[in-house]
């Protein structure tokens, strides 16, 4: 893994003073996961480049119990949280903005370019640009082919990246320190509360005003919601002090953005709930309701007068009762919601007569040979005016770096469909029952792979 930092500031070799590394020498540093070497491929008064070469020991990682299950993994070759650790250990003073010999230069914005040989980026080039462009960099991204001998195999999730700008060296290092693991979307160590302090100490200055800050914080903290909320709250507090008038506005948008960007599950609930609200439906049946998350959300809206959750799993229904505290609801509320046990592959008269039916992340749990029966039950026996179905988009799975190729998202999934497969299935049904049909993507969209969840909305 190679990171190079170049400047054309004159004299360019002052970079050595800023990094506290002599351009004349090659230096090695032993780190817990391997070795870092620092050397200067070029060092002239016009142009100076410092290289940080990181050799991660993959076998040592496995022995050290880092949790990477295989000896063969990409960690030695790509920019990841190992790079952040190396930056903080090898360029510690520069990262904190200190320079013994050139203290004034450390405070100056200089023409700097950082090059990263291989950056794994979950979210693709667009996401990469969304992170670095708002910070003022000119960003050059070159996708790396999966195999250069077989261009028809397409692109890999890796990119080489060049960032150029007029920045302080300390800023550039802190941007890399925070954002490289965010791009990679994984970390080689356990993330706890102390990680918030690290994030705020390296990102505090620029993160509060970054348009993608919710996503940055969420990914940086390994998608742990409690930590994310705490970090964002602290960031907003810091911003309040800078701009007391805008603070309330910021907090409101932050909350909205948080709800929107954090969990796919919440985005899905929101998309379904707003479809139902718009349709004017009053009586809704949620088929395969699980723990009742959708109905819990619908219960808050008075528009919905009757809500019925059905699931084949008794355990899920019990959890729904517990989560919604049904016994504590007042009589009027209590009369609005019910749960019953039933299966979607058997006719059940109790499911008929609703304005809307929702089937959220359920069809992929059905055996493919039961789908035809399910279709008839859903569109003939339930037969609601509005039917909403969501299911994973399997194309998007390659963006989940923790998911081995070809593996489905959940152990109980019998299949997962591409957009085309889902649309073909849904269109055939719409044709057969004379329904209007539209498709909506849910979650952050990848330009090639689409969104993580797909939703079909059928209307009579």
Give the interface with ligand SAH as residue ranges (CB under 6 A). Answer: 288-290, 293, 311-313, 316, 343-345, 360-362, 365-366
Main-chain dihedrals φ then ψ at residue 329, nearest 5 degrees: -70, 150
Nearest to ligand SAH by Cβ — which residue?
A: 290
Judge contact between 339 and 317, C-beta under 8 A.
yes
Closer by beta carbon to ligand SAH, 116 or else 344: 344
Closer by beta carbon to ligand SAH, 121 or else 272: 272
Structure-token pair, residue 457: 């909305």
Query: What are the angstrom distances between the C-alpha of 226 and each of 154, 199, 250?
Result: 38, 15, 20
3-state class (DSSP) for residue 130? helix
Closer by beta carbon to ligand SAH, 18 or else 351: 351
Q: CA 402 to CA 414: how far, in whole Å?
A: 20
Main-chain dihedrals φ then ψ at residue 121, nearest 5 degrees: -130, 110
Smallest distance, ligand SAH to C-beta of residue 288, A:
3
3-state class (DSSP) for residue 325? coil
Smallest distance, ligand SAH to C-beta of residue 227, A:
23
Smallest distance, ligand SAH to C-beta of residue 290, A:
3
Closer by beta carbon to ligand SAH, 156 or else 313: 313
Closer by beta carbon to ligand SAH, 36 or else 377: 377
Closer by beta carbon to ligand SAH, 224 or else 345: 345
Q: CA 281 to CA 449: how far, in whole Å?
A: 32
Q: CA 28 to CA 49: how far, in whole Å?
A: 17
- Of 98, 97, 99, 85, which Cα lies nearest the Cα of 36? 85
Smallest distance, ligand SAH to C-beta of residue 405, A:
24
Smallest distance, ligand SAH to C-beta of residue 280, A:
22
Closer by beta carbon to ligand SAH, 191 or else 362: 362
DSSP 24: T
Q: CA 443 to CA 266: how far, in whole Å?
A: 10
Smallest distance, ligand SAH to C-beta of residue 337, A:
15
Closer by beta carbon to ligand SAH, 100 or else 411: 411
- Of 379, 397, 398, which Cα lies nearest the Cα of 388? 379
Smallest distance, ligand SAH to C-beta of residue 294, A:
6
Smallest distance, ligand SAH to C-beta of residue 256, A:
22
Q: CA 248 to CA 256: how far, in whole Å?
A: 13
The number of helices, as runs of H, and strands, as runs of E, in the chain is 17, 14
């Amino acid at each position: 893994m190679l990171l190079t930092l170049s400047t054309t500031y004159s004299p360019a070799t002052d970079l050595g003073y800023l990094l506290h590394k002599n351009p004349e020498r090659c230096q090695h540093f032993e780190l817990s996961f391997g070795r870092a070497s620092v050397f200067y491929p070029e060092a002239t008064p016009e142009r100076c480049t410092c290289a940080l070469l990181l050799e991660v020991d993959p076998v040592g990682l496995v022995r050290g119990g880092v949790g990477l299950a295989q000896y063969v993994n990409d960690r030695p070759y790509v920019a990841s949280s190992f790079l952040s650790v190396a930056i903080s250990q090898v360029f510690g003073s520069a990262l904190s903005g200190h320079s013994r010999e050139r203290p004034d230069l450390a405070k100056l914005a200089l023409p700097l370019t950082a090059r990263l040989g291989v950056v794994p980026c979950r979210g693709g080039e667009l996401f990469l640009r969304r992170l670095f462009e708002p910070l003022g960099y000119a960003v050059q991204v070159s996708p790396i082919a999966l195999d250069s001998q077989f261009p028809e195999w397409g692109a890999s999730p890796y990119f080489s990246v060049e960032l150029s700008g007029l920045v302080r060296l300390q800023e550039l290092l802190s941007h890399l320190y925070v954002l490289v693991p965010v791009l990679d979307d994984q970390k080689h160590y356990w993330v706890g509360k102390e990680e918030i302090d690290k994030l705020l100490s390296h990102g505090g200055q620029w993160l509060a005003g970054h348009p993608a800050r919710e996503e940055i914080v969420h990914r940086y903290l390994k998608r742990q919601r409690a930590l994310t909320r705490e970090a964002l709250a602290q960031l907003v507090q810091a911003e309040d002090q800078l701009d007391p008038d805008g603070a309330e506005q910021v907090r409101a948008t932050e909350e909205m953005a948080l709800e929107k960007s954090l969990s796919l599950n919440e985005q899905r609930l929101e998309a379904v709930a707003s479809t139902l609200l718009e349709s004017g439906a009053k009586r809704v049946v949620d088929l395969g309701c699980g723990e009742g998350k959708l109905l819990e959300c619908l219960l808050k809206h008075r528009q919905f007068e009757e809500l019925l959750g059905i699931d084949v799993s008794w355990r899920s229904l019990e959890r729904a009762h517990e989560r919604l505290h049904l016994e504590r609801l007042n009589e009027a509320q209590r009369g609005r919601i019910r749960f019953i046990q039933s299966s979607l592959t058997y006719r059940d008269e109790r499911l008929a007569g609703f304005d809307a039916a929702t089937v959220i992340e359920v069809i992929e749990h059905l055996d493919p040979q039961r789908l035809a029966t399910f279709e008839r039950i859903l569109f003939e026996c339930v037969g609601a005016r509005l039917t909403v179905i969501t299911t994973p988009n399997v194309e998007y799975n390659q963006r989940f770096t923790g998911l081995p190729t070809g593996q489905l998202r959940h152990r109980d999934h019998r299949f997962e469909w591409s957009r085309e497969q889902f649309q073909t299935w849904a269109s055939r049904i719409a044709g057969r029952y004379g329904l209007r049909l539209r498709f909506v993507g849910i979650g952050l969209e990848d330009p090639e792979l689409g969104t993580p969840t797909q939703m079909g909305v059928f209307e009579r």
